[in-house]
Structure 1
Amino acid sequence: MKFLLKLVFAGGVISSVAAAPNNDTGSMGMPVDSVNVESSIASDLNGSYEIRNPYAESADESFTIAAKTAAPLATRVSCGGRTWTHGELLGHTGDGQPVYTRITDNRIYLNWNGRVPDNIWILYHLQEGTFPINGANDALIDGCVNPVDPSTGPVNLLGTNGSGQITCNGVAMPNGNRLGVFVGSTGNTYQFIKYVNGLLRVMIKQGENDSREDNYYMGLLNETIQGKDGSYLDPQWRGVLTTDMVNGCFWPTAPKMATPLPDNTCASGPAISNVTNISQTALTVSFTGSGVTSLKWRIKSNGSEVRSGTTNDFGGATSTNLSYSLLAPGNYTLEIEGNNCSSGVSSRAFTINEPVVVIPDCQNGPSVSSVTSITPTSATVNFGGTNLHVFSWRILSGSNAVASGKTGTLTSNSANLSFNFLQNGTYTFELKAEDCKAPSVVTRNFTVAATEVPCTRGPSLQSIISANETSLQFLFDGENVFAIDWRVKKDGVVIRQNRVSPTSNRPVINYNTLANGAYILEIEGGSCKSTPVASAFGVNVALPIYISNFEGKTVENGVELSWNVVEEKDGKEFEVLRYDDRMQNEEVLGKVALTDQRIGKYTFLDKNPLLGTNYYQLKQIDIDGTYTKSKIVAVKPELLSATVIAPNPAEDFVNVRFSSRTAGTSEVTIYNIAGQPVSASTIRISEGQNNHRINVRKLGGGHYFMKINHGGEATKLRFIKAD
């Protein structure tokens, strides 16, 4: 009787589906499959084959291998009740990157803007909502979409050798061979090469007594290569197996196969013949062709897709209307192709013109008849104008705008306006018509007269964190300060001003573009009354003292600050400021005068840093008393520092010397190279310098590391125990 043994070729690897008898390959007794194929045969295999056993007919006949004609790979497949088409746009992720379908060897992958993502669940986060989060889509995505595997890599590392073994980057990967041991907190995990249906998999055994033969997981192998926590490769793989080989040769999961669907080619076309009725939201496309009852379409701008979709079935019509979300006026390209059938792409350029908007003249206005119900943060404006329904407005203090806005569509000649807190005084309300034409703006003066309340504390300007042509961020201190009035001055003249309602002590203010130069920022309470405070800043220019590379680091005696003065003019000195871990409680630590050389490196030592994170800042003072503040740097001093272990190698003991910022009792644990604790003791740590002798006489020769746990922090030291 004849029988057939089916061979499959996957990822450049030939293997037998039928398992051969088990062979003993190591101390853990892992069985393997026999997959030896003559090299002369293996080199020619690239598809589907049959091996015929002749013994049922004649003992004199030999085995024969015959190639079967392979079916063409599909560009459309079915899986989970859905048809997947190669190149189909599924949607866009939150950052605007497109996600397409990729069909490889009848398997479904994702093409995320040119790369295959490992996280298939990005389908749940498409802007278009193509795959709503529900149980049905859980099963669809998990059962159909493949993550990254060797077939998606840029280079094929897989092959076979003359012994029929799978090779990775030219290195033979013997079936059943142990790769290495991952050392974890709960025990050791042993990792083996396993051939599964012609694919390289990583089989794991969790502990010496794990008898499972089908537990596959490759997530620990790269950490084993890196030697994490004492993990190690077996000797034959050290310096041979790399992370690139792991990612390019081993399959993380069994491939999920889809059912190929026959291609349905359009009889002819579609080819665009005309694009008409063009607006910012729709157009009509006419085309030639037959057998086309629905279209896929894309609109591109400068080669990038900006809109896309598919039409409904339009039967035998040769024109259809396309609708899309608003597009700006400009030049575009329309692309179409068959949706109910496969076709090439036809394209045609088209232009969206600026819409023609006719604005009528204002009737019986505009005018501001009165400003009533005035408070420091609101007012009611009564205006004239028969066809005036939308206007923009400003509130001026002198010639400077302190508030501005634009109304929605009004249904009466009265508008209730809100604005940032205004100090008591006289202001000008300015109205500009928006939905009708008027020769000029109209104005009306009004007065704010409210009871002024002094600020509880501040606001005081701590520093200017950053500044550029259109925005600035500053740090302030204050209590119950809900609004801050700010002014930008140039040579004593206010050139920008407004109000900010801070949500933190580091608000950002925005203003019209400033030219390069030096300026003064002045702030005072807006919702309460306070004394104005100011600080200098520059836009793309150096201030009188210009520093760079301001940084801090932990040293044995505390925290060392350093900075470079690269340019200065009329500078005097620096004040070194420190804030606590909440960036509060400013403290002046000391002063550093400019040297005779003026430019160069400067340092300052904080001998008693605070516990936790310390924030430092330089106050740069000029000879005229004006100042500016630098950026803030953060330093978190370690509890233990300047740690030394000696002698190394050691025989009977090691001396450990270090400096501690706090006193207390600490645990000292010694681990072997496999990460297993072999010794533990307790020491008493004093504030300042410490010296401790640790007995290691009973340890065997080899490499060890010592961990000192103190105050929630751990310090690791390596040493060698001599034989």
Structure 2
Amino acid sequence: SENIFPMGTSDSSRNFVRINNAGTQDNFSVRVADYVLLNGNSGDTIRVSHVDRTWFIEEDVPGGSNATAEFWWNTSHELIGFDRILCRTAHYTNLWEYGSFGPAVLNANGQYSKTQAGFTNFSPFSISSGAGPLPLELLSFAAVNKPATVLLQWRTANEINTASFEVERSADGIHFSSIGSRPSYNTAGNHSYQLEDMQPLDGTSYYRLKQIDIGAVFVYSNTVAVTRQAVEKLFSIYPNPVKDLVTIVFTADDEPRKLWITDAGGAIVKVLDVPRGITSIQTNLASFANGMYQIILGDDRNKLVKPLIKR
């Protein structure tokens, strides 16, 4: 029997499916989503070389079917790198299984379609061109708040034809820009990477990883968010102005740091060691001349600076 399932993500975005089942009679249900995920129902979003639609087809009684399926899409659904002259169906079971390469068919309504026979199990389906998704497996991606920076860390497995990674940041979760990149090991096995955001934003920031292969095909990871207090809350001095004993309060770090005091001319007049895990330190400035000073907390890479008045 043959049925056409009229569906789409909107009235102007139709993604019909035609199913012709030559096997055991069964009832089918179909829905469509406007994305393709690396593992069919989960994983990173695929953003190249596909039609950005996933058709989820289910049968009431699994087994016994022998179906031919035809999938329709509009040109606006084609992602960058998609070639409708050389495309094929993609069906996810435990991995993506691909149909035969060939050109898409244009109908009288200006829509394209691709047909494949021999389906005996179902859900999910998409349309692909090229070799399919990146073979890279992203094991984890995390953003860790540090006192003055945000540390991005990720782990991968099975890097094949992988060129590099870019870390992108956004203040609103929509508009992203690159803050740095790392070359890929491009070898089998597990690998660990990290990149530090040296000038993080106050408030909530969103980070994602752009995974790029040697042919410039890329996919994005999931997005992770971190929320940071303003520097004012991370680093404070009291009393200020000070007469003798001053207390400096800051967020603890897992690495030792230094605290420098400089005079108005920039000369270092005192240096204190700040052990890891410490959140405050006191020092006596009674012997200092009255005037303007700067308190500098950090290491060779990152520094927080605050003015101090001695009276």
TM-score w.r.t. structure 2 length? 0.43
Larger radius of gyration: 1
Relative contact order (C-alpha < 8 Å, sep 6+): which is higher? 2
TM-score w.r.t. structure 1 length? 0.21
